[in-house]
């Protein structure tokens, strides 16, 4: 299972985002993280982070990811969302089609 974090913020907030990112603690060993992958443009910065974990640890993973996102609360223009995604194998299993 995957939770994917989507983030946007204006360029002027970049230094504060970077500062807080450097202060993050280690990722729990049951979560594999890819990213953040970052794209900057004149409109600001966008990033995505992919968190992969065993579905049986969903509650723990979600708690960690939302606490991590809360690190950035108060940064002007900072917006985030988290979406649940599954690979096809897990989706078929969930639908009873495995």
**Domain 2-94 - what CATH class?**
alpha beta
Q: Compute the average pLDDT of residues 69-77.
A: 95
Statement: residue 91 has pLDDT above 70 = no
pLDDT confidence of residue 58? 92
Domain extents for the chain?
Answer: 2-94
- Minimum mean pLDDT range among 12-16, 18-22, 54-58: 54-58
The number of residues in the chain equals 98
Taking alpha carbons only, the member of 4, 79, 5, 11 closest to residue 45 is: 11
Helix (H/G/I), strand (E/B), else coil: 55: helix
Instruction: Give the residue with greater pLDDT, 91 vs 1.
Output: 1
Rounded Cα distance, 29 and 20, in Å: 21
Rounded Cα distance, 50 and 30, in Å: 14
pLDDT confidence of residue 93? 73
**Per the confidence metrics, is the pTM higher than 0.75?**
yes
Q: How many CB atoms lie within 10 A of CB 29?
A: 6
């Amino acid at each position: 299972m995957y939770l994917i974090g989507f983030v946007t913020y204006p360029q002027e907030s970049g230094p504060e985002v970077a500062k807080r990112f450097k202060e993050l603690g280690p990722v729990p060993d049951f979560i594999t993280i890819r990213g953040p992958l970052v794209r900057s443009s004149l409109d600001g910065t966008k990033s995505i982070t992919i968190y992969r974990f065993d579905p049986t640890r969903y509650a723990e993973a979600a708690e960690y990811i939302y606490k991590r996102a809360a690190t950035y609360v108060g940064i002007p223009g900072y917006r985030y969302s988290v979406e649940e995604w599954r690979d096809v194998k897990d989706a078929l299993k969930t639908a009873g089609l495995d």
